[in-house]
Structures are given as structure tokens and as C-alpha cells.
Amino acid sequence: MKHAKPAQGAPFGVKLALFMGVSLVWLVLDRITKIWADGAEPGTVLVEDIGGLFEFVLVHNTGAAWGMFSNSTFALGIFSLVVCAVILVVLCTYIRKEGNLLQVFFLACVFAGGLGNAIDRMAYSYVIDFINAKFISFPVFNVADIGVTCGIVLFMLATFIHDSQRSRKDA
């Protein structure tokens, strides 16, 4: 008699709840910080020095990082929404069956970041950026950008580890 394999990972309901919760918290954090920062004129230094590493300076960004696609706000906003839709498809297909909670967490950060910047692009025709790294030459960024960048890198790492572990178990 053949034994059924036990279900792997958390149930989809748990994954979905985690995704929605992390997305909501990250999006609210992004919105609150942008509302705070956008109360000044662009170029205004809001907080001068944070441990010699950062400063907060308001920038209205009509393009992407490093000045790419300048004045392409609407197209970049549509692109962000398409990426968010793709994330939902990935969540409901691969993550539903194979994914783990770390992957869900990181996907939620990417989703919320993409949505946060899309909201800016559609509502204001620019993205509100305000975090300036003083220790490296890097574009001014925001909380949404942190979610997108860190979320993508950590999702890929979590997926690599998850797939490696699954391959070892199957061997």
C-alpha cells in the first residue's frame, strides 16, 4: 500500500493572510513616510545627518533610478501595476503549491513597494523619494524602493534555498 506524502509548507490561507498583512503594513509605512516627507519643497533637507550614513532630502522623481526613463511616470506606473499583477499570479500558482512563508513575506514587500510607487506616479506624476545614502553614490529612494529591492533579492535567495532543499529531499 502506497502512503501519501504529507502536505508541505503552510496552508494557502496562512500564506495569503501573511501576504495581505505584510503588504498592508509595508504600504502604510510607505504612505506615512511619503506624506511626512512631501510636506516640504523638493530639494529641502528634512533631516540633516543620521549617523553619518543617511540624510532625508525631498526629491520628486519622474523617472526610475539613476535618472533612467526620466519623465516616463505614467508608463512606469503602468509597469509597476503589471509587475504587481504578475506577483499575484505567482502567489496563486507557484507559491500556493510550492512556496514557503519566507518567499511569501518577500513577495509581499515587492508587491507593496510596487503599489506604493504606482500610487505616487498616478496621483502626483512623480515618486516621492527622500532617503539619501551619504556613504555611497546612490539615487535618493523611499520605503517602497526598499521593499522592491530587498524583496526581490531575498525572494530569489529564499527560492534558491527552498528549491535546493526540495531537490535534496527528492534525491
In tens, the pLDDT along 77-135 reads 999 999 999 999 999 998 998 889 999 999 999 999 999 999 999 999 999 999 999 99
* 49 belongs to the catalytic site: no
| pLDDT higher than 60, residue 2 | no
Closest CA to 144 of 27, 59, 39: 27
Q: For 141-154, what is the mean pLDDT?
A: 97
Is 0.85 topped by the overall pTM?
yes
Strand order in the sheet with 54-61: 45-50, 54-61, 127-133
Chain length of the chain:
171
The CA distance from 103 to 99, in Å, is: 6
Q: What pLDDT is stored for residue 6 in this prediction?
A: 40
Q: What pLDDT is stored for residue 3 in this prediction?
A: 45
| pLDDT higher than 60, residue 171 | yes
**Active-site option among 30, 120, 129, 170:** 129
Q: What pLDDT is stored for residue 8 in this prediction?
A: 56
Q: What is the pLDDT of residues 28-72, one digit of tens each?
A: 999 999 999 999 999 999 999 999 999 999 999 998 876 677 878
**Active-site option among 30, 38, 49, 145:** 145
Q: Grid cell 529531499 — which residue? A: 169
* 129 belongs to the catalytic site: yes
Q: DSSP for 110-124, please give it.
A: HHHHHHHHHHHHHHH
